[in-house]
A = this chain, B = another copy of it.
């Protein structure tokens, strides 16, 4: 029984590395050696429940880990108890410090659902030890970091200058494209486990207004949402109201330099 469980967890970990590979392949080319390295991180996963802190786990800079299942966020809590998310994290996303102590990478990560992570340090260690052998991988990892900053810049514009409808549409589209990259979208639908309160914390809106704005998007036939499954019914119309530029032309372009 115990061995069966361990084997099961192992499978999960392999799958988790596959998610990271999809993201890396979306921003660069990897050699078969590099692909093997990423696949080699098949250690036992660590799980935390919804609401628990994922990172940092103790003192000092947080170790790099890969989210292999569940959603998380980087919350900033204000004295009055309200919360503003800096970013939303999906399976396939890397968290923790990768040696440069970026404030975003150092900021706490909180689980929004049950979250499973595996240690990603072996990847960075290998890349640091043999830069020549892992040039493509190093570049792709750096591009994922840039992508994270590009999303942050979009977030600023969203919060500063967009209406509730635009923010929501923009955010849902971002999540849609990110979910698609990791292969979670089937027929323009994907699992979106965020509650309306959490969406509010991400977009600087109240729970009630998120509800009303979501209703409007449904009424207008742009999305459908039920039982935790979000379907983008009309990508181009949604992109139009959100003022959302296709990732290829902006966010990804910035990452690809």
List the interface of chain A (C-beta within 8 A of B).
61, 76, 78-79, 82-84, 86, 100-104, 106-107, 142, 146, 149-150, 152-153, 155-157, 159-161, 203-204, 243, 254-255, 257
Cβ-neighbour of A106 out of B83, B107, B257 (below 8 A): B257
- Stoichiometry, as copies per complex, reads 2
Pull 20 A–B residue pairs with CB atoms less than 8 Å apart, ordered by A.
A76-B153, A76-B157, A82-B161, A83-B161, A84-B156, A84-B157, A84-B161, A100-B146, A101-B257, A102-B149, A103-B150, A103-B254, A104-B153, A149-B149, A152-B156, A155-B156, A156-B156, A156-B159, A159-B204, A160-B203
For A159, the chain B residues whose CB sits under 8 A away are 156, 159-160, 204
Q: Is B79 within 8 A of A243, CB to CB?
A: yes
CB-CB nearest in chain B for A148: B103
State whether B257 touches A61 (Cβ < 8 A): yes
Give the shortest distance, in Å, between A254 (CB) and chain B (any CB): 4
Q: Which residue of B lies closest to A254 (CB)?
A: B103
Please provide the 10 A-B residue pairs with the shortest distance between their CB atoms, ordered closest to farther.
Answer: A160-B204, A159-B159, A84-B160, A103-B150, A103-B254, A101-B257, A84-B161, A159-B160, A84-B157, A103-B149
